[in-house]
Structure formats: structure tokens, C-alpha cells
Amino acid sequence: MSFEIDVERRLGETRIALKLASPGGLTALFGPSGAGKTSVLNMVAGLLRPDAGRIVVAGETLFDSASGLDLAPERRRAGYVFQDGRLFPHKRVRDNLLYGWRLADPGHRWMTLEEAVAFLGIGPLLERWPRSLSGGEAQRVAIGRALLSGPRFLLMDEPLSSLDAPRRAEIMTVIERVRDDLKLPILYVSHDRAEVDRLASTIVEL
């Protein structure tokens, strides 16, 4: 199983409970705002601790409340792509891309800067500042930074929600290439049904 998640967590008055097992490809968490989709991503990333449960990705147990196992976020090797990109405004595109690569254990790196640039078609952007990028360009760079961190899987939190229709279609094509060509397991959050119908091999409604 690419993702095996069985977690419970109470946040204020909200109780999040999710159980899923997906065989591979892109697994989408679909539902309205406030349903707990991003919280589940943060639990898988190690940024939010479940009250109870178990998280297994690509055969490796990341969290198991019964045994007390809770891998630190940096040991989980998750590439996280946020809704707003979250590029470093004081670094040019090249240094944003290299940020994750420099932090990664050399033995975990499986893509070079040149390969990421070619894969995403962002060569002309390397010397630009994030503030000069369109929304679609910024998301391509954010995806590149995540890939260069040497991840075993990707977490994507509504990466298309701030884009206009042409840019949404462009980035969906990029995500399909990551899914199909790189074969990375992807856990993907969205509240757009048409989007998850196109991208996901497994859809889980919250």
C-alpha cells in the first residue's frame, strides 16, 4: 500500500477520524473547508501528532501510537507543496530550488537541479525573484523544490486553488507527469470534484 492511514485527532470541538488504504498513484482527500483535510496531511508530515492511530507510507511506518513510534518530520522524507507556494522571497528561483536539495541527505537525493529544471520547464525562471513569478510559475518552482528534497512521497495541499483556469490546467498536467513518470505516491487535498476526478486514482471523502 502506498498510504495506509488510520488516525484520530481532536482539535477544539472538531474530531478528525480517517481510515484509508490506497494502492498507489495519487490519493485525494476531498471535502469542504473545515473537514480536516489539511490536518491529515500535517499528521502524515509529522507536523501534527494524532491522538491515536497508525500511518504507513510505501511500507514504512511513520507513526504508531500503540508502539510509541513517531518519526521526526525530517526522517519521514515528505515533499510538501502548499496552496500558496511559500517560496522564500529573499532567494532567487535557483536558490529556492536548491534549498531542499542542500538539506537532503546526499544518499536520498534522486534528482539533480538540471533534471528538475528540465522536467518542469523552468529554465528561464532560474534568476528571477519569486515576486516576479505568475501563480503557475511559482507552483512549478514549489513542486521542483519539493522534488529536489529527495522525497519518498509528496503531500499537496490545494495547490491549484489560487490559480486561474489556464494556470490550473497547466499545473494539473505537471502533477500528472509527477504521478505517472516519477511514480511518487501523492496525498492530495482539494475541495474541487472535477480536479480530483481528473487526477486521483483513489478518492476519499471527508
Tell me the three cell numbers of residue 197.
Answer: 476526478
Q: Percent of the chain beyond pLDDT 70?
A: 100
What is the 8-class DSSP label of residue 96? H
* Other C-beta atoms lying within 10 Å of the C-beta of residue 17: 15
pLDDT of residue 161: 86
Alpha helical stretches, state H, the chain:
37-45, 73-76, 93-103, 113-120, 135-147, 165-177, 193-199
Q: Which residues of 141-159 are buried (b: 16+ CB within 10 A; e: fewer)?
A: bbbbbbbbbbbbbbbbbbb
For the cut 80, the answer to whether the pLDDT of residue 88 exceeds it is: yes
Domain locations in the chain?
Answer: 3-205
For the cut 70, the answer to whether the pLDDT of residue 114 exceeds it is: yes
| Averaged pLDDT for residues 37-59 | 95
| Averaged pLDDT for residues 182-204 | 93
Q: Are strands 26-30 and 52-57 parallel, antiparallel or unpaired?
A: unpaired
Count of residues making up the chain = 206
pLDDT of residue 1: 58
The answer to whether the predicted template modeling score (pTM) of the entire model surpasses 0.85 is yes
For the cut 90, the answer to whether the pLDDT of residue 84 exceeds it is: no
Distance CA 92, CA 205 (A): 38
CB 104 within 8 A of CB 76: no
Architecture of domain 3-205: 3-Layer(aba) Sandwich (3.40)
Beta bridge partners of 8: 17, 52
For the cut 90, the answer to whether the pLDDT of residue 35 exceeds it is: no
Distance CA 188, CA 157 (A): 6
Quick one: which of 66, 26, 34 has its CA closest to 50?
Answer: 66
For the cut 70, the answer to whether the pLDDT of residue 81 exceeds it is: yes
| Averaged pLDDT for residues 72-92 | 91
pLDDT of residue 105: 86
For the cut 70, the answer to whether the pLDDT of residue 203 exceeds it is: yes
